[in-house]
Structure 1
Amino acid sequence: MSHWKHVYEKWRSFEQLDPALKQELDKMADNEKELEDAFYTDLSFGTGGMRGELGPGTNRMNIYTVRKAVNGLADYLVAHVGDARDRGVAVAYDSRFKSQEFAIETAKVLGAYGIKAYVFDTLHPTPLLSFAVRYLKTAAGIMITASHNPPEYNGFKVYNDDGGQIVPDEAHQIIGCIQEVEDELTIPHLQKDELEAQDILNWIGKEIDRAYLDKLAEISKLATGEQQQDKDLQIVFTPLHGTAHDLVLRGLSQLNFHHVDVVEEQAAADPEFSTVKSPNPEEHQAFTMAIELGSQTNADVLIGTDPDADRLGVAAKDSSGHYTVLTGNQLGALMLDYILTHSVSNLPTKARMIKTIVTSELGRKIAADYGVETIDTLTGFKYIGEKIREFESTGETFMFGYEESYGYLIGDFTRDKDAVQAAVLACEMAYYWKRQGKTLFDALHSLYETYGYYLEDMSSLTLKGKEGAEKIAAIMETIRKEPLTEVGGLDVEYVEDYLAGERTVIGTKLKESIELPKENVVKYILGNDSWICLRPSGTEPKIKYYFGVCGSSAQEGQQRLADLKRDMEDVISRVHNV
């Protein structure tokens, strides 16, 4: 009998199995392929946590896989954080199916270890979990969320005591503890009433919100007098059925942005995300209702947050008067320019901007113009948070951090991407440019004219299940064994292999070390300030490939981008079908 079948039989015969999960297992009984996918492996716990489809099985999100992850984290905390039991763990959850249930299950397992749990009493954004860890000085944090994944997904993200997502060294130790758990079905846990009676379960109320909003007001670049004035900026906001509604509105209100229309159909939390194909502000279809409302109200700016409010999308009027959704790279460049323009009179000597290796090079150009050094990290905001923590000992000053996938951080009182902060600053920025007679779209093109037309794009190939994971691994192996020398008419100048930790200069035997953690990523640096980067997603069954170009005009940049994408699609198609 196959190993997965042994595991399936163990679950099926477990008398105390959760009734809802047992019912689902019964429905799957005649579908061997579905059963194999649910049991052939354990749900992967990566460098930040785990994410997967809801349902029964060791490869699914359910109370047993959550308990197993919490058990491993608790073992790690007890072994490595001397006062972990007293400091406790902060826990938050979003609007997804089972999120609140998984948060309470987390507290039950922590309670069995005598570790206090501070659980939000209502759903909250991811950045509030990061803030709560720092505010309460807990030993760790847990966020129950699957970000912008489809409705059938949920996830479990772990934060360290700095409020940042755990980094690889921490993750590997936690994973080791998780792997030592022999039976996910029989993990010790207390009941909710026991936790409350022993004062191990503590509910977080409005105190954290108020403290966060106080900090949020401090990121404004407006003079005190301007902050107190009513702003003639017409805003449309959609939280896309998620957690950002109240905090974004309160954050805008305290800076006297009162002309805000909310897309009511998308205001309420809804785990089905029933009005959108995907609750992801990166997807332009998510702005359909916001654009309709903006057209009715003649809005100056449209803002949209993903369900756990760590990503922000923004749309502004283009030269023809139509709303155009800005890319993450474009919005990040605008924010960086706005922040540095309003900081130039008191810029610290060791001011730093942080971006990821797949984020536009336009930000580096802008930062350099202000004498600000840019630091590159691997993909993932955990690395940006890690750098900010390092600054506390190096004397460097964090000015701004962003990634192309709509993640931004302005004030370091949180250590993860923060769509609430970004939403408020984006509106403030739109107000600033409106007073200059410009839209955000106009301001963006001024940046292009000054620094060059930096354009970027991303494609992906989704390959689900065991077979898909094997194909993704094979694609990356082939790319390494058969490196490209020319793409889109541009010569490859360097190949950066982040798994090997080395940069190869093409045409020579010269190799240079890359001083970043090892990760399964390959990046090609091409001529004319262009590049391509390939990496398997850490949260979805995808391989992603990113493109970046620079042109002297929009037309030149668009042509270079099209050439790169065409050639790379051919490469991926050929390798995939081999």
Structure 2
Amino acid sequence: MSWYQEFERWNTFTSLDPTLRKELELLQQDEQSLEDAYYKNLEFGTGGMRGKLGPGTNRMNIYTIRRAAEGLASYVESLSGQSKGVVIAYDSRYMSKEFSVEAAKVLGRHGILTYVFSSLRPTPELSFAVRHLGATAGVVVTASHNPPQYNGFKAYNADGGQLPLEEAATVIDMVNQVENELEVEVGDQAELEASGLLKWIDSEVDQTYLEKLKEVNVNPELSQFASDLSVVFTPLHGTAQMLVEKGLQQMGITNLHTVEEQAIPDPEFSTVASPNPEEHQAFELAIEKGKQLGSDVLIATDPDADRLGIAVPNTTGDYQVLTGNQTGALLLDYLLSQSEHVPENGIVIKTIVTSEFGRVIADHYGVSSLDTLTGFKFIGEKIKEYEETKEHTFLFGYEESYGYLVKDFARDKDAVQATVLAAEVAAYWKSKGKTLLEALEDLYKKHGYFLEDLQSLTMEGKTGSEKIEKIMNDFRQNPLSKAGGLEVIAVEDYTTSQRKKKDGTLETIQLPKANVLKFILENDSWFCLRPSGTEPKIKFYYGVKTNSGEESRRLLDSVKQSVNEQINESV
């Protein structure tokens, strides 16, 4: 059907939700926006689906949620997992609880037991709950750190990880087989509750998770110095407050100060331009409070609490927000240096766009490291593989986009775990008379000055998708031979699983196929292009290494300039 025929199908549907009906009437006044709402189905990809709220096949609403849940129900039935059930959690966004109930009503219509948290909970607790309750699958209704007009639906398997590629392909196929989202049947909420097919969960899972959280701390002397640490915490209007506060308190942090204005769940995220700890402006209120109190570390989590950002005092009397790579390096070095016993087969897992700093630190301690594709589901998949084969013991997993996992009782990035460990690291270094920034500088002096950056271009709608494709095609067909004065020594194209070296020889990349290009430069530098799987963006990642911070900054700017020149020619 054409987009207009899809619109007509909705417009003539007599039982359309009244709120969506009113929104649809307004939408008809803007033909371009109307087309964008109907020109395709909101894609259910390997990371689930995410999009703007509103009427339309390309929007998040009760009908596209029902379509996704119907596909998930078919997946659960294919595994005979109805009695083990599905766990659903949700964040503070508009319609999150309503979408969770709609999903539960679809699943219940199929006779599938569904556990739903009675109030908002972090994504990592959903991952834990799937494993704890022995469920067949899980769902988180969240759009993570996207703007307020977005929401999403992320699916998890029985291991508590985001669906790996093969399972995701099965679910995607089942979702795509749902021909008419308007006609998906749902059960009655009251009847499902009475029959026991819809169960509300909360404190029992919370308490079990908090007990497991104690395993994150590694230093037996922690209680001697934790109470001296002053921490400012902000959940950025999201889900993390209860678990983070209790987690820090049970490890001995008594000087804890939550940013009150941002402790209130708020779908508008009204105190920040973006509820993303990767963005420095998200720390403005925390920095203000930190300066008043003279705090040692500021901690921010994103709305669904799977990403952690930290800021620390610098020499100018201000606070510096660390990058995800810098935080990862500090956490990893502390874990490996302070653990009483590091298994001989221990392994650190990171992604292909995460700094090489972590690999060098792991090498220093005689620990193996492994790269996966971008996306924590690939790290979770490897954890499960090593758990079964015993080939390696998982020690730490992380990605540059502020996602960390310390203990594998969850199988997705876990900002609650990362907060507890980050507080321990800060307390430890304070007991040694150092700030986290000084500890980081020591790591640079020891291993080299690694510096990274990320650029994102947002290109929404149909024309945006076409521009992103054009940029990727141009870099494939006209690859740079130099960037920032550095020779390109290899180009990795993950769509073909091939690494082409400067001399023309080809090597096979032993990772799943993905629309990613990575250019390997001389002197341990690189850059990478990757269209986002969950947002209308194309991302450009950069990494360099020299013998000084100033030199690394100059080189990074030069590499970025070379790449940006080709981007501008492409579009």
Q: TM-score range by the shorter chain?
A: over 0.9
> Which residue number corresponds to residue 108 of structure 1?
105
Distance 1:505 1:431, change over 3 A: same
After superposition, where does 1:93-492 map in structure 2 within 5 Å?
93-223=90-220, 226-227=222-223, 231-343=227-339, 345-395=340-390, 396-492=392-488
Matched residues, percent identical? 56
For residues 369-428 of structure 1, the C-alpha deviation after alignment (integer angstroms, 9 at most, x for no partner) is 111111000000000000000011221101100000000000100000000001111111
In structure 2, runs of 5+ residues without a counterpart are none
Deviations 1:71-93 (A, max 9, x none): 011112212x12x1100000000
What is the CA-CA distance between 1:231 and the residue it aligns to? 1.1
Q: Judge conservation of contact 1:228–1:255 (CA < 8 Å) in 2.
A: no
Q: Which residue is equivalent to 2:570?
A: 575
Indicate the SS of the match to 2:29: coil
Deviation at 1:167, TM superposition (A): 1.2
Q: Aligned-pair distance for 1:229?
A: 6.9
Deviates more, 1:368-377 or 1:226-235: 226-235
1:91 — aligned with what? 88
Aligned equivalents of 1:76, 1:125: Cα separation in 2 = 24
- In structure 2, give the amino acid aligned to 1:256: G
- Separation in structure 1 between the aligned mates of residue 294 and residue 257 of structure 2, nearest angstrom: 11
State the partner residue of 2:47: 48
Task: Tell me the CA shift for residue 228 of structure 1.
Answer: 7.3
Deviation at 1:31, TM superposition (A): 1.4
Map of 2:9 onto structure 1: 10
How far off its partner does 1:230 sit?
Answer: 5.8
Cα offset for 1:30? Answer: 2.3
Which deviates more, 228-237 or 373-382?
Answer: 228-237
Cα-to-partner distance string for 1:7-64 (whole Å, 9 max, x where unaligned): 1111111111000000000111221111100000000111110000000000000000
**One-letter amino acid of the counterpart of residue 175, structure 1:** I
**CA displacement at 1:136 relative to structure 2:** 0.3
TM-score, with length taken from structure 2: 0.99
Q: Which range moved further: 24-33 or 281-290?
A: 24-33
* Secondary structure class of the residue paired with 2:443: helix
CA–CA distance in structure 1, aligned partners of residues 419 and 194 of structure 2: 40
Instruction: Pick which of 70-79 and 52-61 moved more.
Output: 70-79
Q: Give the conservation status (yes or no) of the 8 Å contact 1:463–1:472.
A: yes
- In structure 1, what is the Cα distance between the partners aligned to 2:226 and 2:315? 27
In the alignment, residue 267 of structure 1 is paired with which amino acid? A
Structure 2 counterpart of 1:272, one-letter code: E
Instruction: Tell me the distance in 1 between the aligned counterparts of 2:232 and 2:42.
Output: 39
Q: Distance in 2 between matches of 1:165 and 1:318?
A: 37
- How many Å apart are 1:521 and its aligned residue? 0.2
Cα separation, 1, equivalents of 2:101 and 2:514: 33
Which residue is 2:552 aligned to?
A: 557
Out of 505, 510, 515, which is 1:515 matched to?
A: 510
Confirm or deny: 8 A CA contact 2:225 2:428 kept in the other structure: no
Q: CA deviation at 1:153?
A: 0.1
Q: CA RMSD in A?
A: 1.0
What is the CA distance between 1:331 and its match in structure 2? 0.1
Aligned partner of residue 72 in structure 2, secondary structure: helix
Residue equivalent to 1:68: 67
Q: Distance in 2 between matches of 1:554 and 1:569?
A: 22
Matched, 1:532 2:527: yes
CA distance in 1: counterparts of 2:8 and 2:160, whole angstroms: 40
| Contact kept? 1:430, 1:439, Cα under 8 Å | yes
Report how many residues are paired.
Answer: 570
Q: Which moved more, 1:488-497 or 1:189-198?
A: 189-198
Cα shift at 1:226? 3.6
Q: Which amino acid aligns with 1:532?
A: F
Residue 545, structure 1, aligned to residue 540, structure 2? yes
Q: What is the identity, as a one-letter code, of the residue corresponding to 1:15?
A: T
Following superposition, which runs of at least 4 residues in structure 1 exceed 3 angstroms of deviation? 225-230
